[in-house]
Structure 1
Amino acid sequence: MRIGNGSIAATVVLLTALTSIPALAENKYDQGATDSSVKLGQTMPYSGPASAYSAVGKAEVAYFKMINDKGGINGRKIELISLDDGYSPPKTVEQIRRLVESDGVLSTFSIVGTPTNIAVQKYLNTKKVPHLLPSSGAARWNNVKQFPWTTGSLPTYKTEGRIYAKWILQTDPNAKIAVLTPNDDSGRDYLTGFKEGLGDHVGQIVAEAVYETSDPTIDSQIVSFKASGANFFFNEGTPKFAAQAIRKAAEIGWKPQIILPSVSNSVGAVLTQAGLENSKGTVTGSFLKDPSDPRWKDDPAMHAWREWMQKYNADANLSDSLNVLGYTLAQMMEVILANAGDTLTRANLIKQAQSLNNVTLPMLLPGITLNTSENEVIPVKQLQMQRFDGESWVLFGDVLHE
């Protein structure tokens, strides 16, 4: 009798194990992932006042086209659904809800813009949908306690602002500074970090102004900056307004030392629009190799990027560093997906995004690596200064931390 009961028990255990196998297989996928594909979603300003940033999305779509042509990631094709939001937060909400609730994406990826990402951050976290690598440097992407499903991508605007302020004081301790920022969270973050970097020298800001992204121009702000006597200008505008500011300063004969943020230092999208001669001498910080810099002429990574551009993104501007940014953000996402292996759940994606350890990517500047943890989810924390010589950016100095 004991033998019989034992056989029955063994059979029950075996049947339980066998019937649990399909359940385990199903559990390694969440909505948006299968044996053959992974579905990601994003919004981009393909129209509107920040449309220059659409180069990022086009590059990312092109990168995953290349990945799919090579067989995908862990044998799965990547479907990146990239929708236009016109850089309008209400439109971003509408499109992201569509991506999550109708298209069924596993995760969002590289949504462009601070106000647009803020508009959907709470929704995505409530839904427990990974809000990965927003293309923005807002400090709030590093708030794991309040938003555990969000990770950052770029150096925070506060970090960048602090670095620029310290560089200005090292260059001229008596600098008189003008600051232009957009009237949104990105502008406020930059300004906060910049003032923190100035410390006791914050009184050396002699002129400060904001603009709305719907404004046609920022001419009046630049005229007032010249009248202030400022000899340093932190031009923290999005590409359209950053270019306008440089061009207007030249038109009225104001020649301060201009500092551009990393989000608006593209030669193609900003400096060419402002006028290359007008832009000469401008400085900025970067963590990426610039395609216009001749020092990378024989760099294998730059050669590979140019070949990719010619084959997969041929209509894009080779001098636009936003194409390098999109390429690199897509590679970050590739690393996260590759590390997730066959466990393509939303929780595992977040775990992998929080577990980057000294990751190097081809188009990162030498000495800059990606590192994240459960408490620190901004992967890039370093910059190197560079100066525009009228044709290309020229790196100088050491890799800087805040």
Structure 2
Amino acid sequence: MRTTRPWKLAVASLAGSLMLAPALAQKKYDAGATDKDIKIGHLNPYSGPASAYGAIGKAIGAYFDKVNADGGVNGRKITFITLDDGYNPAKTVEQARKLVEEDEVLLVFQTLGTPSNTAIHKYMNTKKVPQLFVATGATKWGDPKNFPYTMGWQPNYQSEAKIYALHILDTKPNAKIAVLYQNDDYGKDYLKGFEDGLGDKAKTMIVSRASYEVTDPTVDSQMLTLKNSGADTFFNITTPKFAAQAIKKSAEIGWKPVHYLNSVSSAVGSVLTPAGLENAVGIFTASYIKDPTDPQFQKGKEYDDWLAWMQKYHPKGDLKDNFNVYGYTVAQSLVQVLKQAGDNLTRDNVMKQAASLDITLPMLLPGVNIKTGPDDFYPIEREQLAKFDGKTWVLFGKVYGR
């Protein structure tokens, strides 16, 4: 009968452990990720009718510069490939294909605009490439059952519009409302939420609706039509260029309705300043990030860190533009996802981690957090109303949402 010496068993056990260790520590990568870097794709309208949003892309890039200078994410540097799609859906398709098929990015992050994201929605999911934290609040980005590779980030448009509707019902129940909206899914999503929020009263309270195309040079004629309707309340559903035009034109024609402005165009630097700050006094909006012009937030570690980042990594950025707070905060959200993904940098795991968030970030408003789940692809669901006083947005009332 053969026997095995104890020391031989020990050697065999050690050898087995050494063979097993690499398997346990094995790293998993999809295209766009290696031991050294992570390729992130991004599409933004640096040109065209929505070029004011280009500030967001520049801010995101500047934040990733900081991350890389600090050593990267889990030791990997971020390679940020950002392309201009001009807010043109056809161009978005072309550029998305380039990012996925030629540049082979791990994911496409923060593509801006409802029409633009709609154009690549099916493509990204067919390719099983994350279309992550899209820069649009359309409700369609929260459908994990049918589009598991697409996730929103900001509060959805319909929920935000309902907040304005509730405020009107509470403060001006006999209002005569005029609505200006962009004639696409973005504008119609806001309009639907607003009508739903008003309920049966929408039929009588909304006295005029006017739409515009993104290719229109101005919304001057629409503003005249809305004024002539006799409306005393105005819901302004526009992107930055047209928002500034509408605010300015309203003052020029002497129309002074109670004015509600969607949050995607509430930047003091890129919207209200060009429109004339004096013309924007009294406008209402909803907020979920700290406005950099608000004195109450211009102190403390959160603001100091943001300011130091702006000064070092984004010195050409406007300190009055909340798009620079937005870009900073959404970039932090992605970094958290990548940290959680660890060495399993597959596209499926990226989406799994994006759907496993429960965090509070420094430049979100108090009471606003980021929380997701396998069946909840709406990361931010809380907002607070604010009113412009000529210098900054002044928050008031409760935080709405869940």
Scaled by the length of structure 2, what TM-score is found? 0.94
Matching of residues 45-194 of structure 1 within 5 Å: 45-194=45-194
**Offset of residue 401 of structure 1:** 2.0
Distance 1:332 1:118 in 2: 22
Q: Report the counterpart of residue 390 of structure 1 in structure 2.
A: 390
Matching of residues 368-379 of structure 1 within 5 Å: 368-379=368-379
Q: Report the counterpart of residue 258 of structure 2 in structure 1.
A: 257
The answer to whether the Cα contact below 8 Å between 1:163 and 1:401 also exists between their aligned partners in 2 is no
Count matched residues: 396
Distance 1:17 1:89 in 2: 53
Distance 2:30 2:310 in 1: 33
Q: Secondary structure at the match of 1:355?
A: coil
Going from structure 1 to structure 2, the CA distance change for 1:120 and 1:23 (only over 3 Å counts) comes to farther
The answer to whether the Cα contact below 8 Å between 1:355 and 1:372 also exists between their aligned partners in 2 is yes
Q: Secondary structure at the match of 1:54?
A: helix
Q: Secondary structure at the match of 1:145?
A: coil
Q: Does 1:234 align with 2:232?
A: no
Q: Does 1:209 align with 2:210?
A: yes
Q: Secondary structure at the match of 1:361?
A: coil
The answer to whether the Cα contact below 8 Å between 1:247 and 1:275 also exists between their aligned partners in 2 is yes
State the Cα deviation string for residues 280-327 of structure 1 (Å, max 9, x = none): 000100000000111112232112111111111111111110111011
State the Cα deviation string for residues 189-243 of structure 1 (Å, max 9, x = none): 1011000000021020001011000000111111011111111111010000011
Going from structure 1 to structure 2, the CA distance change for 1:253 and 1:37 (only over 3 Å counts) comes to same
State the Cα deviation string for residues 24-62 of structure 1 (Å, max 9, x = none): 735x11111111111100111010000000000000000
Distance 1:218 1:96 in 2: 31
Distance 2:292 2:244 in 1: 19
**1:116 maps to amino acid:** S
**2:73 maps to amino acid:** I
Q: Report the counterpart of residue 32 of structure 2 in structure 1.
A: 32
**1:81 maps to amino acid:** I
Distance 2:145 2:366 in 1: 32
Going from structure 1 to structure 2, the CA distance change for 1:15 and 1:233 (only over 3 Å counts) comes to same
**2:299 maps to amino acid:** D
Going from structure 1 to structure 2, the CA distance change for 1:17 and 1:288 (only over 3 Å counts) comes to same
Q: Secondary structure at the match of 1:285?
A: strand
**1:47 maps to amino acid:** S
Q: Secondary structure at the match of 1:71?
A: coil
**2:98 maps to amino acid:** R
Q: Report the counterpart of residue 287 of structure 1 in structure 2.
A: 288
**Offset of residue 20 of structure 1:** 10
Distance 2:357 2:20 in 1: 36
Structure 2, unpaired ranges of 5+: none
Q: Report the counterpart of residue 243 of structure 1 in structure 2.
A: 244
Q: Secondary structure at the match of 1:284?
A: strand
Q: Secondary structure at the match of 2:214?
A: coil
Q: Report the counterpart of residue 347 of structure 2 in structure 1.
A: 346
Structure 1, unpaired ranges of 5+: none
Distance 1:297 1:330 in 2: 21
**Offset of residue 138 of structure 1:** 0.7
**Offset of residue 145 of structure 1:** 1.2
**Offset of residue 3 of structure 1:** 8.9
Distance 1:15 1:47 in 2: 59
Distance 1:201 1:61 in 2: 45
Q: Secondary structure at the match of 1:339?
A: helix
The answer to whether the Cα contact below 8 Å between 1:264 and 1:270 also exists between their aligned partners in 2 is yes
Going from structure 1 to structure 2, the CA distance change for 1:119 and 1:3 (only over 3 Å counts) comes to farther
Distance 2:355 2:2 in 1: 52
**1:190 maps to amino acid:** Y
Q: Secondary structure at the match of 1:158?
A: helix
Distance 1:98 1:313 in 2: 27
Q: Report the counterpart of residue 269 of structure 2 in structure 1.
A: 268
Distance 1:177 1:381 in 2: 26
Q: Does 1:328 align with 2:336?
A: no
* Identity between Structure 1 and Structure 2 (%): 54
Q: Report the counterpart of residue 356 of structure 1 in structure 2.
A: 357
Q: Secondary structure at the match of 2:304?
A: helix
After superposing on structure 2, the runs of 4+ consecutive aligned residues of structure 1 that deviate more than 2 Å are: 1-4, 14-26
Q: Report the counterpart of residue 195 of structure 1 in structure 2.
A: 195
Q: Secondary structure at the match of 2:79?
A: strand
Q: Report the counterpart of residue 307 of structure 1 in structure 2.
A: 308
**2:109 maps to amino acid:** F
Q: Report the counterpart of residue 318 of structure 1 in structure 2.
A: 319
Going from structure 1 to structure 2, the CA distance change for 1:215 and 1:367 (only over 3 Å counts) comes to same
The answer to whether the Cα contact below 8 Å between 1:169 and 1:198 also exists between their aligned partners in 2 is yes
Distance 1:356 1:171 in 2: 36
Distance 2:167 2:341 in 1: 40
Scaled by the length of structure 1, what TM-score is found? 0.94
**1:325 maps to amino acid:** Y
